[in-house]
């Protein structure tokens, strides 16, 4: 990896970086669409690449089950298997310790899974996770970490954090003896739940191993915790992680979350949200989500967003026809998936441009006013951005909204 910080925001901790990997350059900050099983649902790799996306995510656990490492080894890795020519990151399988917890037993050796497909036991150790990711051939590979739900409290959180550090050492050893360090880049994952003391202990340990990893992820969040706690943990980690390494916040996908994380110093994020929400008939826009299942769109010949460059909007596809086919015809999910991925790319691309041009605080104020001005600013966003010198409330008359403040259309009256 060649990693270079190109520009920094004069107010916040946001920055623009150039990350060169084996399959090309990815500019940061960026959002990574999730192709869990070697496909972004509804799109071909060529369509994804045509949208300007240069980095996607595959999942180690799922690709190990199907098609399996034997197939991946025979075809020369996941890039060739799925026809993807740009950069690829693989999650280690650690998240499945939470999402498939009823099938999982954790020991110091690793995680024993019962396959959700046929019930067969599968042992995923740190060494095995790295070996599978070597077969996948991802440009960025993640350590196997012991992940617990972000709402977990008590001694299990500390146990998981300390085990994640020990597992990192095993991942490093396996990666270093593989001879693949020049092709694949290992990231550490900071754990510690919602406990700042545990987070600091984990940061201490992982920063000590800086020379043996190429980047860092902030894990164990986006699991239902209060947003006021979420941003403080992100800030705590981003403030301390080395400036000459990429910083990746795992599982973040809402536009407001992305921009807060960028302002706090995060470079990369991923989430299934934009593609999954497309399949539920929701288009993401700079005015907020647009629920195309609602009857008010029945006769609307407007596009989703007249200023959007995505193929769905540029072709003139109307809200009326999307309302007619969405969640019924696959073409509807396909059209909304394309639009939502371009929206995410526009949010992050706009952030990069604003940082480069020295106007990132103004970009934040403009985005939040357009997105939340009619309903109220989420208080946690205001607090988070104030912590890095940007006051969204300055010069505007917008109410504060308690809680997550997530904007959504539930009815035609919305």
- Do 111 and 104 touch, CB atoms closer than 8 A? yes
With residue 86 as reference, give the H or E element that holds it.
none
Active-site choice (91, 139, 257, 267): 91
Tokens found for residue 69: 């490492």
Active-site choice (139, 267, 270, 305): 270
- Do 293 and 327 touch, CB atoms closer than 8 A? yes
Half-sphere exposure for 109 (CA within 13 Å, toward CB): 6
Residue with tokens 């979420």: 230
Question: Which residue from 238, 264, 237 is spatially nearest to 364, judged by alpha carbons?
Answer: 264
**Strand, helix or coil at 236?**
helix
Whether residue 270 lies in the annotated active site = yes
Whether residue 239 lies in the annotated active site = no
**Strand, helix or coil at 402?**
coil
Beta strand ranges found along 335-411 (DSSP E): 377-378, 400-401
DSSP 202-266: HHHHHHHTGGG-SEEEE-S-SSS--HHHHHHHHHHHHHHS-TTS-EEETT--SHHHHHHHHHHT-
- In angstroms and rounded to an integer, the radius of gyration of the C-alpha atoms of the chain is 21
200 vs 222: CA distance, rounded Å: 19
162 vs 165: CA distance, rounded Å: 5
Residue with tokens 């943990």: 233
Catalytic residues: 91, 270
């Amino acid at each position: 990896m060649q990693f270079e910080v190109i520009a920094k925001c004069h107010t916040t901790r946001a920055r623009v970086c150039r990350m060169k990997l084996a399959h090309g350059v990815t500019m940061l900050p960026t959002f990574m669409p999730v192709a869990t099983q070697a496909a972004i649902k509804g799109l071909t790799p060529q369509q994804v690449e045509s949208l300007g996306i240069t980095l996607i995510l595959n999942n180690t656990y799922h690709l190990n089950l199907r098609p399996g490492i034997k197939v991946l080894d025979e075809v020369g890795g996941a890039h060739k298997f799925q026809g993807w020519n740009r950069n690829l990151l693989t999650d280690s399988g650690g998240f499945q310790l939470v999402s498939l917890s009823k099938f999982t037993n954790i020991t110091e050796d690793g995680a024993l899974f019962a396959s959700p497909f046929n019930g067969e036991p599968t042992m995923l150790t740190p060494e095995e996770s790295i070996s599978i990711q070597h077969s996948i051939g991802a440009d960025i590979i993640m350590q196997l970490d012991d992940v617990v739900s972000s709402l977990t409290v008590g001694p299990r959180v500390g146990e998981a954090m300390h085990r994640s550090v020990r597992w990192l050492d095993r991942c490093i050893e396996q990666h270093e003896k593989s001879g693949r360090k020049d092709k694949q880049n290992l990231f550490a994952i900071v754990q510690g739940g919602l406990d700042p003391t545990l987070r600091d202990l984990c940061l201490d340990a992982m920063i000590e191993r800086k020379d043996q990893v190429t980047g860092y992820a902030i894990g164990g969040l986006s699991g239902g915790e209060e947003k006021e706690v979420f941003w403080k943990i992100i800030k705590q980690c981003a403030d301390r992680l080395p400036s000459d390494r990429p910083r990746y916040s795992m599982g973040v996908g809402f536009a407001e979350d992305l921009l807060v994380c960028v302002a706090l110093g995060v470079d990369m994020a991923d989430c299934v949200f934009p593609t999954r929400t497309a399949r539920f008939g929701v288009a993401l826009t700079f005015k907020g989500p647009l629920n195309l299942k609602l009857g008010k769109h029945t006769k609307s010949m407007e596009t989703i967003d007249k200023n959007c460059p995505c193929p769905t909007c540029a072709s003139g596809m109307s809200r009326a026809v999307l309302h007619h086919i969405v969640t019924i015809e696959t073409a509807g999910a396909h059209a909304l998936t394309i639009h939502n991925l371009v929206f995410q790319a526009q949010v992050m691309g706009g952030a990069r441009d604003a940082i480069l041009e020295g106007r990132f605080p103004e970009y934040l104020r403009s985005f939040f006013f357009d997105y939340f001005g009619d309903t109220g600013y989420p208080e946690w966003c205001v607090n988070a951005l104030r912590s890095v010198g940007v006051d969204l409330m300055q010069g505007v008359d917008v109410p504060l909204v308690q809680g997550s403040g997530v904007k959504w259309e539930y009815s035609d009256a919305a």
